[in-house]
C-alpha cells in the first residue's frame, strides 16, 4: 500500500494497493471494520472510496500485480481507475461541468501518481526485474523470428541489439 501526492486533488487521500494483505492491513489501520473486497467480483482493478470513523476520506485504487500483464494493460487499468477518481472528486466538490482542460490535467496527474506508486510497489516487492526480463525475452523472440534469427540461450543485450537492428534493417 502506498499513499500518493495530492497536488491536483485536495480532499481525499489517494493510495494504490497491489495485494489483498496490504488492503486488509490498511483497512485495520484506518479503523474500517466492514469493508469491500480488495477487488470487486472478477475485476482486474477496483477503486474504493472510504471514510473512516473520524471522517477522513480516502480513495484507494486496488490492482493485483500480475506478471503476465503487459505494461500497456496495467497502464490502461490505471487510466480507467484515474477517471473514476476524478469523477468522484468532481461529485465531492460539486462540480457538474468541469472544463475539458481541467479534467485532462487532473486525470493525467492522478494517472501519473497511480502509475508511479504502482511501479514503486512492484519494484519494492521484487517483481520488476522478473517481469521486465520476461517481457524483454518475449519481445526479442518476436523480433528474432521476424529477422529469421535464433535467440541465443545467453546473450549481451548491447551486442544482440546491434545484431538484431542490423538484421532487421537488412530485411526491410
Residue 57 and residue 13 in contact, taking contact as beta carbons nearer than 8 Å = yes
**Which residues pair with residue 49 across a beta bridge?**
59
- Per-residue pLDDT in tens (0 to 9) along the chain, 172 residues: 788 876 666 667 889 999 888 898 888 888 887 788 899 888 999 999 988 777 878 899 999 888 888 888 999 999 999 999 999 999 988 999 999 998 988 898 889 889 989 988 887 766 555 555 555 556 566 666 656 666 666 666 567 666 666 665 665 4
Please state whether the predicted TM-score (pTM) of the whole model is above 0.85: no
Task: Give the list of residues 6+ apart from residue 49 with CB closer than 8 angstroms, or none.
Answer: 12, 57, 58, 59, 88
Distance CA 139, CA 155 (A): 14
Amino acid at each position: 500500500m502506498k499513499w500518493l501526492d495530492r497536488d491536483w486533488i485536495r480532499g481525499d487521500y489517494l493510495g494504490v494497493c497491489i495485494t489483498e494483505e496490504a488492503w486488509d492491513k490498511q483497512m485495520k489501520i484506518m479503523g474500517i471494520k466492514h469493508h469491500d473486497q480488495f477487488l470487486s467480483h472478477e475485476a482486474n482493478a477496483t477503486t474504493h472510496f472510504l471514510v473512516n470513523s473520524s471522517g477522513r476520506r480516502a480513495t484507494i485504487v486496488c490492482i493485483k500485480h500480475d506478471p503476465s500483464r503487459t505494461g500497456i494493460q496495467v497502464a490502461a487499468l490505471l487510466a480507467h481507475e484515474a477517471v473514476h477518481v476524478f469523477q468522484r472528486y468532481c461529485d465531492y466538490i460539486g462540480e457538474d461541468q468541469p472544463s475539458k482542460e481541467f479534467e485532462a490535467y487532473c486525470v493525467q496527474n492522478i494517472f501519473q501518481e497511480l502509475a508511479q506508486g504502482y511501479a514503486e510497489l512492484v519494484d519494492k516487492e521484487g517483481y520488476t526485474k522478473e517481469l521486465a526480463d520476461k517481457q524483454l525475452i518475449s519481445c526479442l523472440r518476436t523480433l528474432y523470428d521476424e529477422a529469421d534469427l535464433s535467440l541465443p540461450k545467453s546473450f549481451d543485450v548491447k551486442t544482440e541489439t546491434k545484431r538484431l537492428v542490423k538484421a532487421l534493417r537488412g530485411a526491410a
